[in-house]
Amino acid sequence: MSSSIAAAAAFTAQASNRIALVTGANKGIGFYIALQLAMSGLFSHIILGCRDATRGQTAVSDIVSQLKTLPSPTPSVSYLPLTLGNKESHANLKQSLEQSFGKVDVLVNNAAIAFKNADPTPHEEQCKPTLDVNFRGTVDLTNELLPLLRRGSDARIVNVASMSGYLSQLPSRELRSKFASEGITMSKLHNLVDQYEQDVEQGTYIKNGWGRSNYGMSKLAVIVATRIWAKEEAANGISVNCCYACYYGEYFYWAVFCKL
């Protein structure tokens, strides 16, 4: 057997027509996650879900270019439009994936927004868009794609969270208990997030024991949602985890965690 045929056979055995979707993959962490998955030899298709079509196509070209340095065969890499937080966009993405592949094996929820410290937008005006994208958008997209993930092989969901999502950001012991409760449901979690948003709008969030960071609260909610999905989807063979990434010099340092 020639080396090229052997390589093709090995790739086919490993990849097994596996599909990976990475959101917010046109730059930064999302781009490098997509690149590493593409180079892993474990997937036949890598899809970049991005809001900006030009940047999405550029990212695809960059990844394909780097794959040319590897022995063939390599996975196909493509872009699909995704505006996280827009339910119509979520539904369209699912439809495209279902028509093209019929399933998803790995979903990496990386897309998110964060207002910079120097941004003049008032705190209360930053709250809703941050929660709508980072938490509500992630939840809605994931729920939209769960039927496709349940058809996947060794299916996995990885949510990119943040160290900002720590439970102790909540001064209120009662709120910490609610977020950390083993009996929390997605409905109860949404109610907590809605209450936080309402208290921010009314200027009572500090008095009521909430965290001071909209971004931190959105990522805390993502971590709790991860725990809920992990329990609910275990019976469907879907592994659900979250991780965070931080800089160490010029490199990213990754850690995976499942507890608050």
Give me the active site residues, please. Answer: 215
Nearest to 246 by CA among 180, 163, 175, 140: 163
Q: Omega of the bond prior to 73 within 30 degrees of 0, cis?
A: yes
Question: Residues with Cβ < 8 Å from 110, sequence gap 6 or more?
Answer: 22, 23, 24, 25, 29, 30, 33, 160
Compute φ and ψ for 21, nearest 5 degrees: -120, 130
Report which secondary-structure segment, H or E, holds 46.
strand 45-50
Residue 8 makes CB contacts below 8 A (sequence gap 6+) with 72, 73
